[in-house]
């Protein structure tokens, strides 16, 4: 039974348990010093036992000494186990869980992996067998045990495999270290942690803080487990990377600061989850599904865009009018975008295009612990009717007609690594998630996760959105020439889409071609089998050995501000002379396939080709012709139509020419060391014949600049002049870092540059 009393000098209440005895009031009420002491009781047994216990208790109480903790025949005296302070060991757990860069002010751990907390008790330490400790963890606004959002678990000798567990690690006097561990299938999110202590029939409960639980790519039982350590470092931990743009003939890369461990990014990602429409409709159901990366990926794919009026992060725009926001070409990182979204009350940030949508999604998924990477698909089809054929129409002058079905010069999405227990075996691994709003999926602008393996094999009946992605990389592109009388003539040649599918290599600033993950080699027997499975017939539109052919070549790079030549290479693969008409047309273009004004034209009515002969015809594209209409995508689309008079056959060729921006030069002066000042010298030459006005440099780099640094130039940059400035910064994190620079002006936009810097750790 229970003996309770209060120490006069310390004011601490104590209690003692004597087994198997009845209770009766002890001490007259006139002797009690505090109302709570009226609850004091002693066990009653034999008169000698009662007198002995009472005398022992009263002597200690009167002398101001701790309650006696001596064992007697019928029981023992024990004081309350009083929790005084605790330590969530944020720094230590952060190192062990690879979340240290998220800061040491909050506990962030990965599921399925133990983490240590330390409890400090007042008066006495924890006694095994006498004291009982238990924990409550809760996540979401309406935690329920059956939904997996609440758990109660006691301290035990061994970890629990299938649920939450707590095991004593070490005891040092009044301090107790306990190892807590979630199941590898726990819901991710922000948790509340409460400790319950009890000695006998008395118990207390104390809220000891919050922690955030993430997916764990290092745990074999987690559905996002990734076996290779280098890949985990690249796809979960790396905060900077490269995104591929340009054309399939001229692939360029731009640096990007993902910054998933930057201050406040984690809280913003959790806010995104709590803002999504599924959460607002049914909070319990939404939170209970947060153990599933498939569910999380689908939610995030929808929430990165705002097309469903769902408080999404980014508004998309492709018309080159960005005056009421920021041009998509000006961004160099996700952190500023996510912070703007939060700062302005979850209003969409203006503006994004495919690589911006993909990069922000990659940041969110990496932040939550799901391995992810940005992928670029060149000559990417947007198939609206699902027939795997993109029909493009031109007039006889080579002008493309606008159409809903387009070929994007490139298109970016992300791949996230996860198991697919919702599908038959064989579809685990990389999954396509595309947050760029193109088509609705189940009534929402989102796409995926679509298993890359299913795309390659043509398994279009599986979840989610596989037919749409399959078309992006496999559809045929057919050109139709619309004549003056309205009749249409199919080109004798077509182009294939889904070229040079690219992502950044693991651990290196180089491109990895992953086209083979998405499709079998063009024209192979296996490729035809895949199309048969997808219930589509492949049009026999490949080039014939016999006939006329045309292709477009570029002899050297095309630099912004300069004239350059493109060439139509035409050939006659027959044994007879052929007389043809060659039409060459150049227009400025956007990367999503939209074309602008003409900037070059040549029409040769009588081109004679001898048998088995080739001929090259140049077209000079002048800067003065494209300077005013060149979009921020820096693209010029060149179309060649070769029409044979005798048969009426038409051969079509197209090529997107990327206009190269000037180089941003970056020099780092000083010894790169943590918490030691460095100087970056940044310069750029104006290559144009016009002065550049409203010039702004934006510099940022995770671990280097502590946010964005902006340099506005007071004077215009004259033609052919060099602008140079110095920027001081103090690196606050060691390791390999990227210093990224963006340059904007009235006539030269979206110019990017970066410099890798290895920061040595601060000497201890």
Q: 698 in helix, strand or coil?
A: strand
Write out the catalytic residue numbers: 354, 411, 434
Q: Which of these, 423, 381, 387, lies nearest to 405 by C-alpha position?
A: 381
Residue spans of alpha helices (H) in 406-552: 452-457, 466-474, 515-518, 525-533
Q: Which of these, 236, 254, 148, lies nearest to 191 by C-alpha position?
A: 148
Quote the CA–CA distance of 261 and 214 in Å, as a whole number: 13
Quote the CA–CA distance of 309 and 276 in Å, as a whole number: 10
Q: Is the preceding peptide bond at 644 cis, omega within 30 degrees of 0?
A: no
> Cβ–Cβ contacts within 10 Å for residue 332, how many?
26
Strands 722-729 and 678-685: antiparallel
Give kind and range of the element (H or E) at residue 253. Answer: strand 251-257
703, 670 in Cβ contact below 8 A?
A: no
Q: Which of these, 555, 568, 556, lies nearest to 603 by C-alpha position?
A: 568
Q: What are phi and psi of 638, to 5 degrees?
A: -110, 130
Q: Which of these, 261, 239, 260, 235, lies nearest to 372 by C-alpha position?
A: 235
Quote the CA–CA distance of 549 and 572 in Å, as a whole number: 7
716, 691 in Cβ contact below 8 A?
A: yes
Quote the CA–CA distance of 294 and 303 in Å, as a whole number: 14
Q: Is 497 exposed, middle or buried (0-12, 13-18, 19+ CB in 10 A)?
A: buried
Task: Report in angstroms the alpha-carbon separations of 580 from 101, 604, 610, 718.
Answer: 65, 8, 11, 47
Q: Which of these, 200, 242, 496, lies nearest to 374 by C-alpha position?
A: 242
> Cβ–Cβ contacts within 10 Å for residue 429, how many?
16
Q: Is the preceding peptide bond at 464 cis, omega within 30 degrees of 0?
A: yes
Quote the CA–CA distance of 667 and 646 in Å, as a whole number: 62
Residues forming beta bridges with residue 210, ordered by sequence position:
192
Placement of tokens 């865009």 in the chain = 305
738, 701 in Cβ contact below 8 A?
A: yes
384, 346 in Cβ contact below 8 A?
A: no
Residue spans of alpha helices (H) in 429-492: 452-457, 466-474
DSSP secondary-structure letter at 368?
T
What is the length of the chain?
764
Q: What are phi and psi of 554, to 5 degrees?
A: -125, 120
Q: Quick one: angle between helices 354-367 and 335-343, nearest 10?
A: 80
511, 244 in Cβ contact below 8 A?
A: yes
């Amino acid at each position: 039974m229970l003996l309770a009393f209060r120490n006069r000098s310390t004011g601490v209440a104590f209690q003692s348990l004597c087994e198997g005895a009845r209770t009766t009031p002890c001490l007259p009420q006139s002797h009690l010093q505090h109302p709570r002491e009226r609850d004091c009781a002693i066990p009653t047994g034999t008169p000698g036992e009662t007198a002995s216990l009472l005398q022992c208790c009263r002597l200690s109480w009167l002398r101001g000494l701790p309650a006696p903790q001596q064992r007697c025949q019928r029981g023992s005296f024990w004081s309350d186990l009083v929790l005084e302070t605790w330590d969530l060991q944020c720094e230590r757990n952060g190192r062990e869980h690879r979340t240290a860069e998220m800061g040491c002010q909050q506990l962030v751990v990965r599921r399925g992996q133990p983490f240590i907390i330390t409890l400090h008790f007042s008066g006495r330490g924890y006694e095994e067998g006498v004291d009982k400790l238990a924990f409550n963890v809760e996540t979401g606004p309406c935690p329920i045990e059956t939904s997996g959002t609440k758990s109660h678990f006691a301290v035990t000798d061994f970890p629990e495999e299938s649920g939450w567990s707590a095991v004593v690690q070490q005891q040092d006097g009044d301090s107790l270290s306990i190892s807590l561990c979630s199941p590898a299938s726990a819901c991710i999110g922000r948790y509340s942690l409460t400790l319950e202590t009890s000695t006998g029939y008395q118990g207390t409960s104390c809220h000891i803080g919050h922690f955030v639980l993430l997916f764990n790519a290092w745990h074999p039982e987690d559905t996002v487990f990734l076996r290779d350590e280098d890949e985990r470092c690249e796809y979960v931990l790396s905060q900077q990377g490269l995104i591929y743009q340009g054309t399939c003939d001229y692939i360029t890369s731009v640096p990007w600061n993902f910054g998933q461990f930057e201050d406040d990014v984690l809280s913003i990602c959790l806010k995104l989850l709590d803002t999504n429409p599924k959460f607002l409709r049914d909070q319990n159901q939404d939170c209970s599904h947060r153990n599933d990366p498939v569910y999380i990926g689908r939610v995030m794919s929808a929430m990165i865009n705002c097309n469903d009026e769902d408080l999404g992060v980014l508004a998309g725009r492709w018309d080159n009018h960005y005056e009421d926001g920021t041009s998509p070409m000006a961004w160099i990182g996700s952190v500023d975008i996510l912070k703007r979204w939060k700062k302005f009350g979850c209003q969409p940030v203006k503006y994004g295009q495919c690589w911006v949508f993909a990069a922000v999604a990659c940041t969110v998924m990496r932040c939550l612990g799901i391995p992810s990477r940005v992928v670029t698909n060149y000559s990417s089809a947007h198939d609206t009717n699902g027939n795997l054929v993109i029909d493009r129409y031109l007039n006889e002058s080579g002008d493309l007609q606008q159409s809903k079905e387009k070929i994007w010069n490139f298109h970016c999405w992300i791949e996230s690594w996860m198991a697919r227990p919702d599908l038959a075996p064989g579809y685990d691994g990389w999954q396509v998630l595309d947050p760029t709003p193109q088509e609705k999926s189940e009534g929402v602008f989102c796409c995926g996760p679509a298993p890359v393996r299913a795309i390659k094999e043509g398994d279009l009946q599986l979840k989610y959105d596989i037919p749409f992605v399959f078309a992006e990389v496999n559809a045929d592109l057919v050109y139709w020439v619309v004549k003056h009388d309205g009749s249409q003539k199919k080109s004798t040649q077509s182009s294939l889409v889904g070229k040079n599918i690219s992502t950044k290599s693991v651990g290196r600033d180089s491109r990895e071609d992953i086209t083979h993950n998405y499709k079998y080699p063009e024209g192979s027997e296996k490729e035809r089998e895949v199309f048969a499975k997808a219930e589509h017939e492949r049009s026999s539109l490949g080039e014939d050995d016999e006939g006329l052919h045309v292709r477009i070549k570029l002899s050297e790079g095309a630099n912004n501000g300069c004239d350059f030549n493109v060439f139509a290479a035409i050939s006659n693969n027959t044994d007879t002379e052929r007389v043809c008409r060659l039409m060459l047309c150049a227009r400025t273009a956007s990367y999503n396939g939209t074309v602008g004004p003409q900037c070059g034209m040549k029409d040769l009515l009588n081109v004679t080709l001898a048998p088995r002969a080739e001929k090259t015809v140049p077209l000079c594209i002048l800067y003065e012709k494209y300077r005013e209409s060149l979009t921020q995508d820096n693209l010029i689309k060149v179309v060649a139509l070769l029409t044979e008079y005798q048969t009426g056959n038409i051969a079509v060729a197209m090529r997107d020419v990327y206009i190269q921006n000037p180089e941003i030069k970056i020099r780092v002066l000083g010894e790169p060391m943590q918490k030691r000042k460095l100087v970056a010298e940044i310069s750029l030459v104006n290559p144009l014949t016009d002065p550049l006005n409203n010039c702004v440099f934006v510099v940022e780099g995770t671990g280097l600049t502590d946010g964005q640094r902006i340099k506005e130039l007071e004077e215009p940059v004259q033609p052919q002049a060099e602008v140079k400035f110095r920027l001081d910064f103090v690196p606050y994190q060691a390791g390999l870092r990227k210093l990224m620079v963006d340059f904007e002006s009235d006539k030269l936009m979206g110019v990017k540059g970066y410099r890798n810097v290895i920061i040595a750790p601060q000497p201890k």
